[in-house]
Structure 1
């Protein structure tokens, strides 16, 4: 099943959990496919930057965004509008090295 989530659903899921987060969980289980557009992502970015969401972002540990890619054209940028761009290996080594060592 393919769905599009409105920005308010993304905000609720990411910052408060509850029912909206269950929809994201369905996507992680490959039970649904969530489609997004560039304009929706832009609206989500703008909305998340609002002052009223800063404390909740910190509580949920959503203070840093990453773009993880193997695309060399993106990787040379290093970051875009404050979003860090990393190779999967660099991301895992930087933040989850101990987990990788324990599992591998």
Structure 2
């Protein structure tokens, strides 16, 4: 199963306990394939470094992601999100044929009629792992 985790969920999963943390743990234990683009990786690393103020932590996660995630080149653009800055993650979803896009962003979550299931961390855990 191919899954894209929006930056807000991934970073929250590293910092706090709760549903985002459970999603990241499921990925780390190999229960789904994390799909990234170079742009999404750069955003993850930038936000981890900015919030943690720890470049070593950001480098650690960058290396982990490079080793463990599946990278997809995004060659198309989409224009479906209220926030145009979020369209790149939707384009990644199409390019990768992802099964899920997990987000906590209301602009992304409000999108309907998109070929990829766009869900919150709680909904993903409920649908795929029966809430665990």
Return the TM-score normalized by structure 2.
0.39
Larger Rg: 1
Return the TM-score normalized by structure 1.
0.48
**Looking at both structures, which has the greater relative contact order when contacts are Cα pairs under 8 Å and sequence separation is at least 6?**
2
